[in-house]
Chain A
Amino acid sequence: MTNKLFSPIILLLVLAFLIGPFLIIIAASLSAGETLAFPPQGLSLRWVLKVFEVESFRASFGISMFLAIGGTLAALILGIPASYALSRYKVPGAETIRTIVSSPIIVPGIIVGLALLRYFVVPFNFGILFALFLAHTALILPYAVRVVSASLNNLRSDIEEAAVLLGSSRIGAFFRVVMPNIRGGILAAFILGFVTSFNQVPVSLFLSGPGVRTLPIDMLAYMEITYDPSVAALSALLAFMSLGIVFLAERFLGFSRYV
């Protein structure tokens, strides 16, 4: 049957197209030459090591980390109670609220960044970093609400009633019997939020100022000036970081169940 031959070929081509460039980048970053090239001109770790010496990369890495972790935490702090209310209470106007909370996923990020720059940063003299933090939080919020809601909906709501009847307060019931059971979902939301924020470009495009840039924006800027393989090396390192996080999450949580 044609299918027997056709399927593996298709899969091979598709995977080569999806994964291949990533492998090429790894190879290119191990080059000993001065410019970006594949196949690499000799093998060395010089560009990988150089990444750690570039001052602006270190600074922007810190900022991206802060945004990814801080923004995701903030989104969870806002998103968990909202998800809980939406799944356990009769909330008047629930649909409207759901739409508002998930709207950042619909609108292109570049517009969000621009709007924040124009109506928050400029008129109110907001710090760029603070604006970035708000923007990333808003961006992650829909993911947080979606993933946490999904795990709440998989959890029977009568266990909260059972806890209350056994003497727990309503809030106590949430922390004693709901939280422990949606921990996996919350962690999954955290990872998804982290990766989304860390890789995010359009939202941050307009929100950069002196000394305040996210890492991907910094990489774009660096690429315009130099054509050496350090960006390739950094790309490879970041890819490994993302993959490492996802791998650990999958290993210990079955991350893909939640996303």
Chain B
Amino acid sequence: MSDARFLCLEKLTLSYGKNVAVPEMNLDIGKGELVALLGPSGCGKTTTMRAIAGLMEPSSGAIILDRVDITRTPANKRPVGLVFQSYALFPHLNVYENVAFGLKLMGIRGKKLDDKVQEGLRTVGLSKFATRKPAELSGGQQQRVSLARSMVMEPKVLLLDEPLSNLDARLRLEMRTELQRVQKESGVTMIFVTHDQVEALAMADRIIVMLDGHIEQIGTPEDIYNRPVSDFVADFVGFENVFALEGRKLKTPTGTVELSDTPPRDAKGLAWRPSMVTLGDGPFEGTIRGTSFAGGTREYLLDTPLGPIKAECDASLPAHEFGSVLKFDLPVTKAASLSRVGSL
């Protein structure tokens, strides 16, 4: 049975001394969800995660986990696991002992302990490395030990801090699927913190985009990717041409501009990916100031009365020359309509 309010943050306020890092945050996370906390550094995502783990005491508000208020529960008594960005393996213990650490503290001994540790190691494919010390493992292997060490505790929520950031590109892809597999097989509620939108889009069931201590948008990867609600989220997921609206007109550095279509009634702004810009035809004109070949496509930077515009064409089409003047259009039908334009 699914529970949509398995982990609830209620008006959670987190501060460092007088600096409020996260003001009155409300958030519900369902049981068994794989959620990404996405945002730039300093947005409060790590702080939020540390508060859920109990490593930081909230100045007000509540954290409810599985209908139990754990706001004041000390970190060592919370059914929450955390995989640290640097893995935080105990250097003096070998892989087996690292995984057994928490279980022993729970009073588990003998065969039961061994079974659980072996199973944990098997899940992450490290049975052969049981007697190695952390220093003798690669980054990816350390990550797996850290994951196993948390998973054997059977936490209700597993938190991961930038789980892929210390891995090289190839391992990162491998670890993505690995994490998803472990999560699906165990059904644990998993929240991972990341600043990488690609990672969040690829892995998460649901993405929470944070900015300056508040939640900017919550949605499925498709929602976030196709229907960003604010200029910040739009820019973050690749809508590189973002404009505020003034009435029905586009606000630009040189004044307002009439569009070819009428924007949706409640839109406060519009955003286009480079691929959404029509090149070669339309009411606007721009000069090509930069081109770059990106394999399947060719990207153009245009200098226009609307400001700089990024556009993209199929690379098989003939290239436009540097300095040439082109007509283009920003089609309203393709644009993402934004309900908030904070910084424009």
A and B touching (Cβ–Cβ under 8 A): yes
Residues of A that sit less than 8 Å from B by CB: 155-156, 158-159, 161-169, 172, 176-177, 180-181
B76 touches which one: A155, A169, A177, A180 (CB < 8 A)?
A169
Find the A residue at minimum CB distance from B91: A181
B105 touches A162 (CB 8 A): no
A-B contact pairs, 18 of them (CB 8 A): A158-B84, A158-B88, A159-B88, A161-B55, A162-B82, A162-B84, A162-B88, A162-B89, A163-B101, A165-B54, A165-B75, A165-B80, A166-B76, A166-B102, A167-B77, A167-B105, A167-B153, A181-B92
A68 nearest CB across to chain B (Å): 28
B86 touches which one: A156, A163, A165, A168 (CB < 8 A)?
A156
Residues of A within 8 A of B77 (CB): 167
Q: A165-B81, A167-B76, A168-B105 are in contact. List 11 more A-B contacts (CB 8 A).
A: A158-B88, A159-B89, A161-B55, A161-B82, A162-B88, A163-B101, A166-B101, A166-B153, A167-B77, A167-B102, A167-B106
Taken together as a complex, chains A and B put the C-alpha atoms of A181 and B92 apart, in Å, by: 6
A161 touches B88 (CB 8 A): yes
Residues of A within 8 A of B76 (CB): 164-169
* A-facing residues in B66-91 (Cβ within 8 Å): 75-78, 80-82, 84, 86, 88-91
Taken together as a complex, chains A and B put the C-alpha atoms of A159 and B134 apart, in Å, by: 12
B3 nearest CB across to chain A (Å): 23
Residues of B within 8 A of A177 (CB): 90, 92
Find the B residue at minimum CB distance from A90: B17
A-B contact count (CB 8 A): 60
Find the B residue at minimum CB distance from A173: B76
Residues of A within 8 A of B150 (CB): 165-166
Residues of A within 8 A of B105 (CB): 166-168, 172
Residues of B within 8 A of A176 (CB): 101
Find the B residue at minimum CB distance from A161: B55
**CB of B149 within 8 Å of the partner chain:** yes
Residues of A within 8 A of B54 (CB): 165
Taken together as a complex, chains A and B put the C-alpha atoms of A150 and B54 apart, in Å, by: 28
How many B residues touch the partner, as a band?
20 to 34
Residues of B within 8 A of A162 (CB): 82, 84, 88-90, 149
Residues of B within 8 A of A166 (CB): 76, 101-102, 105, 149-150, 153
Residues of B within 8 A of A169 (CB): 76
Chain A interface main SS type: helix
Residues of A within 8 A of B149 (CB): 162, 166
A162 nearest CB across to chain B (Å): 4
Closest 4 CB pairs of A and B: A166-B102, A162-B88, A158-B88, A167-B105
Taken together as a complex, chains A and B put the C-alpha atoms of A159 and B84 apart, in Å, by: 9
Taken together as a complex, chains A and B put the C-alpha atoms of A160 and B314 apart, in Å, by: 53
Quick one: which of B78, B81, B105 has the most chain A CB within 10 A?
B105
Residues of A within 8 A of B92 (CB): 177, 180-181
**CB of B53 within 8 Å of the partner chain:** yes
Residues of B within 8 A of A180 (CB): 92
Taken together as a complex, chains A and B put the C-alpha atoms of A155 and B86 apart, in Å, by: 12
Taken together as a complex, chains A and B put the C-alpha atoms of A180 and B53 apart, in Å, by: 25
Taken together as a complex, chains A and B put the C-alpha atoms of A159 and B86 apart, in Å, by: 9
Taken together as a complex, chains A and B put the C-alpha atoms of A16 and B296 apart, in Å, by: 74
B115 nearest CB across to chain A (Å): 18
B303 nearest CB across to chain A (Å): 48
Find the A residue at minimum CB distance from B105: A167
B90 touches A163 (CB 8 A): yes
Residues of A within 8 A of B78 (CB): 165
Find the B residue at minimum CB distance from A182: B92
Taken together as a complex, chains A and B put the C-alpha atoms of A164 and B50 apart, in Å, by: 12
Taken together as a complex, chains A and B put the C-alpha atoms of A168 and B75 apart, in Å, by: 9
Taken together as a complex, chains A and B put the C-alpha atoms of A155 and B91 apart, in Å, by: 9
B196 nearest CB across to chain A (Å): 21
A193 nearest CB across to chain B (Å): 23
Find the B residue at minimum CB distance from A160: B88
A89 nearest CB across to chain B (Å): 14
Residues of A within 8 A of B88 (CB): 156, 158-159, 161-162
A127 nearest CB across to chain B (Å): 41
Find the B residue at minimum CB distance from A180: B92
Find the A residue at minimum CB distance from B153: A166
Residues of A within 8 A of B91 (CB): 155, 159, 181
A258 nearest CB across to chain B (Å): 16
